[in-house]
């Protein structure tokens, strides 16, 4: 392999590897997180996504909580519920804009 081809290949691989990180790093862009609530606190919740990653998401006064597309109080968020969260990055933290509540997983008797 020529030196120029090797340099081009390495540069391409580096750029391809950095592209996903760059898109997540932009503040103010919506980010969609699907998963299960594993912890609920007064001002935040933790969600485990399908890949097994944990996300801590802040809840503020502008956060809308929906069940069946109808507004509900934030107290309706419980551990074990499936959720779809739309969040933005503010001050290096995820802040929920909408939290759509799904169903709790069915438990086998």
CA-CA-CA-CA dihedral for 76, 81, 87, 93, to nearest 10: 90
Angstrom distance (rounded) from CA 41 to CA 59: 9
Quote the CA–CA distance of 88 and 85 in Å, as a whole number: 10
Distance CA 53, CA 26 (A): 20
Q: What fold does the segment set 28-101 form as a domain? A: OB fold (Dihydrolipoamide Acetyltransferase, E2P) (2.40.50)
How do the domains of the chain map onto residue ranges?
28-101
The pLDDT > 70 percentage for the chain reads 72
Mean pLDDT of 66-85: 93
Mean residue pLDDT across the chain: 83
Return the SS3 of 47: strand
Average pLDDT over residues 53-78: 93
Q: pLDDT by residue (tens digit) across 12-56?
A: 665 665 545 444 545 567 899 999 999 999 899 999 999 999 999
Strands (E) across 1-109 are located at 31-40, 44-49, 54-58, 64-67, 70-71, 82-90, 93-101
């Amino acid at each position: 392999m020529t030196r120029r081809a090797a340099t081009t290949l390495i540069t391409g691989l580096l750029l391809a590897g950095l592209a996903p990180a760059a898109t997540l790093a932009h503040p103010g862009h919506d980010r969609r997180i699907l998963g299960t609530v594993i912890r609920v606190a007064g001002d935040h919740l933790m969600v485990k996504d399908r890949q097994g990653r944990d996300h801590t998401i802040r809840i503020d006064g502008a956060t809308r909580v929906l069940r069946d597309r109808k507004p509900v109080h934030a107290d309706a968020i419980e551990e074990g519920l499936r959720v779809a969260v739309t969040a933005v990055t503010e001050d290096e933290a995820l802040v929920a804009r909408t939290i759509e509540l799904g169903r709790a997983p069915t438990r086998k008797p």
